[in-house]
């Protein structure tokens, strides 16, 4: 009887711990995904990715973006990851230029 009680307690405790662990893992995964998705590149990172100098014009941003986007096209042997970085860099610079324009 005592052995049975100990086994039941062990199984119940393991089940509760397992569920808590799975829930904690799920929440951590969601928060990590949200954090990564919500982080915008800095202006300096974006300029470095696109190979631009500080204080460049939007025309230059778009020219570099087009060139690098096409060069990294997965359909032509490019990298989806690098192409995504190019897109995020353009978005970061567009957001910064829009912010500067609003402040002016």
Q: What is the CATH number of the domain that holds 80?
A: 1.10.287.110
Burial per residue of 48-67, b for 16 or more beta-carbon CB atoms within 10 angstroms, e otherwise:
ebbebeeeeeeeebeebbee
Shared-domain flag, residues 25 and 74? no
69 and 32 together in one domain: no
> Helix crossing, 80-103 with 58-71: angle to 10°?
170
Q: 58 and 23 in one domain?
A: no
Domain around 13: 1-39
The pLDDT assigned to 50 comes to 96
> Could you tell me which residues come within 8 angstroms of residue 8 by beta carbon, excluding any fewer than 6 positions away?
none
**pLDDT confidence of residue 16:** 79
Number of domain units in the chain:
2
pTM of the model: 0.62
Same domain, 54 and 84: yes
Q: What pLDDT, in 10s, does the model give residues 7-46?
A: 888 888 778 777 776 777 778 777 766 655 557 899 999 9
């Amino acid at each position: 009887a005592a052995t049975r009680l100990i086994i039941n307690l062990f199984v119940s405790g393991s089940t509760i711990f397992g569920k808590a662990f799975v829930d904690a893992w799920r929440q951590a995964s969601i928060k990590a995904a949200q954090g990564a998705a919500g982080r915008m590149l800095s202006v300096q990172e974006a300029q470095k990715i696109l190979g631009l100098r500080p204080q460049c014009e939007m025309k230059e941003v778009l020219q570099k973006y087009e060139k690098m986007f096409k060069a990294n096209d997965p359909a032509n042997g490019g990298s989806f990851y690098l192409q995504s970085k190019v897109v995020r860099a353009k978005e970061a610079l567009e957001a910064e230029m829009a912010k500067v324009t609003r402040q002016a």
